Chain A
Amino acid sequence: MISDETRPRPAPRAVWREVDSEAIIVLPDQGQFKVLNAVGGRVWQLADGTRTVTQIAQSICAEYDVAADIALRDVRAFIEALVTKGALIIGEK
């Protein structure tokens, strides 16, 4: 489980585009791609290595109609899933 104080950022070889409000991510090393919906795309935007998981959840809480504890839980789980898939990485640059 990742810490809420980690600052996730895109994997170096990930390629993505924002299309309308969604995001499409290609992971060349895995030969796969992911499509993120509007909220997922927003988390992806925010996960640029400058914000902690907590700060990302706070932004989602402020922008969408969702309670703070649920936002943190869902954002944490979503980021963990993207880290597991190799789309996001954590750790020092």
Chain B
Amino acid sequence: MKDIVWGVAGNAIALRGDSGIMPILDKWRAQFAVDLDPTFELTIHGQLDTTTNAPGITFENDTVRYGSPDAQGYANFQTAHGELALRSAAHWPEADYFLRVVLGGLALAQNKLLFHGAGVIDAKRAWIFFGPSGAGKTTAAKASAPRPILHDDLLLFAPEESGWQAHATPFLSSGGLRPEKPISAPLAGLCHLIQAKQVAAERLSPASTVARLLKCVPVVTTSPRLAGQAMDLCYRLAKSVPCFDLRFLPDASFWEVLYDFR
């Protein structure tokens, strides 16, 4: 079967595999297909050997390894090649997870950041809502209707000449809020969510911003090299995009506060 090539913000990841899994991935990635030469190639197959990798994500030099009872994989960022073995096509969400890791590694190598957060476009600019699991990312995104939603869980930030750009990603999201096409918008602000009984926004210092952002950059804390790169990028981001502690209610009232900062 023909390779699927999809991408976000200039990346082009080629997926190849057997006929069991590829139609599923094709349907899932179709909206993010790109006509670019691949920057990374991932082969997906069904020859699973669960004794290969330790459970979870581990980094070693230019290689990241992933192990779980239903999937084993590696990605080498130097050779731009990787493999993922799945127990069966029914475990294709494991491929979604592994591709997040791959895209996160590729992004950092290009001075871009994969980021856990919800993105909402208001007046053609992207506002990012982030925080730990359960903080209210999907709630904030849903409450922002009818504003366009970039994604309610995973975004990619890329520095461009005009400033930082927030890109949608094609990954699964628990809230089901993800775009039907690859959209992006200039970053307007970063809102660290705190559930409260009264709406308020407090501007954060760059150091406080970096601390909050780092918690939402996937897997970097497992690798000293990636952690350093991520800290430097978060600091660049913190210096150019305002960040707030946003105390909010589960409705659209927080937008009134954000309008003061537009």
Contact = CB atoms under 8 A, between A and B. Distances in A.
Main secondary structure of the interface of B (DSSP, over half): helix
A83 interface: no
B231 A24 contact: yes
B221 A33 contact: yes
A85 interface: no
A24 B211 contact: yes
A27 interface: yes
A15 B238 CA distance: 19
Contact of A19 (B210, B215, B224, B228): B210
Contacts of B206: 19-20
Contacts of B208: 35
Given A15-B231, A33-B214, A22 B207 contact: yes
Given A17-B232, A17-B235, A33-B214, A28 B224 contact: yes
Interface of B: 205-208, 210-211, 214-215, 220-224, 227-228, 231-232, 235, 238
A91 interface: no
Contact of A27 (B205, B221, B232, B238): B221
Contacts of A17: 210, 228, 231-232, 235
A25 to B, nearest CB: 10
A81 B33 CA distance: 50
Nearest to A20: B207
A41 B227 CA distance: 18
Contacts of B221: 26-28, 31-33
A28 B207 contact: no
A26 B227 contact: yes
Contacts of B214: 24, 26, 33
A19 B231 CA distance: 10
Nearest to B212: A35
Across chains A and B, which 7 residue pairs bring their CB atoms closest together, nearest first? A22-B207, A26-B227, A19-B207, A35-B211, A15-B227, A17-B231, A31-B221
A26 B220 contact: yes
Contacts of A28: 221-224, 227
Given A19-B238, A28-B222, A31-B221, 11 more contacts: A14-B224, A17-B210, A17-B228, A17-B231, A19-B206, A19-B207, A19-B210, A19-B235, A24-B207, A26-B221, A33-B214
A73 B221 CA distance: 31
A38 B161 CA distance: 33
Interface in A1-58: 13-15, 17, 19-22, 24, 26-28, 31-33, 35
A26 B235 contact: no
Contacts of B231: 15, 17, 24, 26
Contact of B205 (A14, A20, A26, A32): A20
With most chain B CB atoms within 10 A of its CB, the pick from A22, A27, A32 is A22
Contacts of A33: 211, 214-215, 221, 227
